[in-house]
Amino acid sequence: GIQVEQSPPDLILQEGANSTLRCNFSDSVNNLQWFHQNPWGQLINLFYIPSGTKQNGRLSATTVATERYSLLYISSSQTTDSGVYFCAVEAWDDKIIFGKGTRLHILP
Amino acid sequence: NAGVTQTPKFRILKIGQSMTLQCTQDMNHNYMYWYRQDPGMGLKLIYYSVGAGITDKGEVPNGYNVSRSTTEDFPLRLELAAPSQTSVYFCASSFIDSEGGAFFGQGTRLTVV
């Protein structure tokens, strides 16, 4: 089946810093999403981005489907950005497969 | 719209007991999914369904069963619970081909003792 790899696995930053999270996938995909799992375990949709670039406030994402990767940018980090960021891809067999996530900790 | 609703939120089971985790969505989504998340880990797909009457195995289906008799409901059945099934279970739904993205319920925290 399709493999989804996220990097880095862990990231510790000072408040106000910028960061880039990466998602690589092993085969062509139907769709790609980024999620934020907050400290209470809730999964929050950030971006639905099968290709191209989208922005939402301090967050933006770019997917280059032909090269099988996606990037999530977080600018001017805040402590509320802490949590785990997941990339999830829908393969052509309709399965949505998650990466292992990047654990982000923003220090005040 | 309530979105995706899971019940119960918490449950403790004894080894060998059975239970059904309920999931319902009111967004008229075709696709529904069940995941489990072990502590500190990512989400693993258990089963999924592309429409009423159709179900397929995911990455970790052993020990679980599902049914999809209606568009709205996708219950997950645990038979003969084992400690290895201690996890947080998430249900999700989406339109065809996850167009617009998949949306998740709040999760069910299950402990098997």
Picking from A1, A30, A42, the nearest residue to B97 by CB comes out as A30
For chain B, say whether A101 makes contact (Cβ under 8 Å): yes
- Taking an 8 Å cut-off on Cβ atoms, the answer to whether A94 and B56 are in contact is yes
What H or E segment, with its residue span, contains residue A56?
Answer: strand A52-56
Q: What does the pLDDT read at residue A7? A: 98
CB–CB contact A95 B90 (8 Å): no
Question: In this complex, which of B50, B56, B98 lies closest to A31 when CB atoms are compared?
Answer: B98
Contact yes or no for B101 and A90 at CB 8 A: no
Q: Is the pLDDT higher at A10 or at A30? A: A10
User: Cβ neighbours of residue B62 under 8 Å, at least 6 residues apart?
Assistant: none
Torsion A57-A63-A64-A70 (CA) sign:
positive
Question: pLDDT per residue over A53-104, tens digit each?
Answer: 999 999 999 999 999 999 999 999 999 999 999 999 998 888 999 999 999 9
Instruction: Name the burial class of residue A56, with classes exposed (0-12), middle (13-18) and buried (19+) by CB atoms within 10 angstroms of its CB.
Output: exposed
Nearest-Cα residue of chain A relative to residue B50: A94
Residue B83 is classified by DSSP as G
Residue A49 CA, distance from chain mean position: 10
A15-25 pLDDT per residue, tens: 999 999 999 99
Q: To which H or E segment does residue A74 belong?
A: strand A69-74
Q: What is the DSSP letter of B60?
A: -
- The percent of residues in chain A predicted with pLDDT above 70, rounded, is 100
- Chain B partners of A25 at a C-beta cutoff of 8 Å? none
Give the mean model confidence (pLDDT) for residues B60-70: 97
Nearest to A100 among B42, B50, B103 (CB): B42
C-alpha distance from residue B97 to each of A42, A47, A50, A52, A77 (Å): 23, 16, 11, 18, 33
Phi, psi of A12 (to 5 degrees): -120, 125
Indicate whether B101 pLDDT > 90. no
How confident is the model at residue B98, as a pLDDT? 66
Enumerate the H helices of chain A as residue ranges: none
d(CA A36, CA A39): 10
Give the pLDDT mean for B98-106: 86
C-alpha closest to that of B66 among B38, B94, B36, B87? B36
Chain A, 58 to 77: residues with Cβ < 8 Å from chain B are none
> Distance between alpha carbon B5 and the CA centroid of its chain, in Å?
11
Rounded distance, CA A86 to CA B35, Å? 14
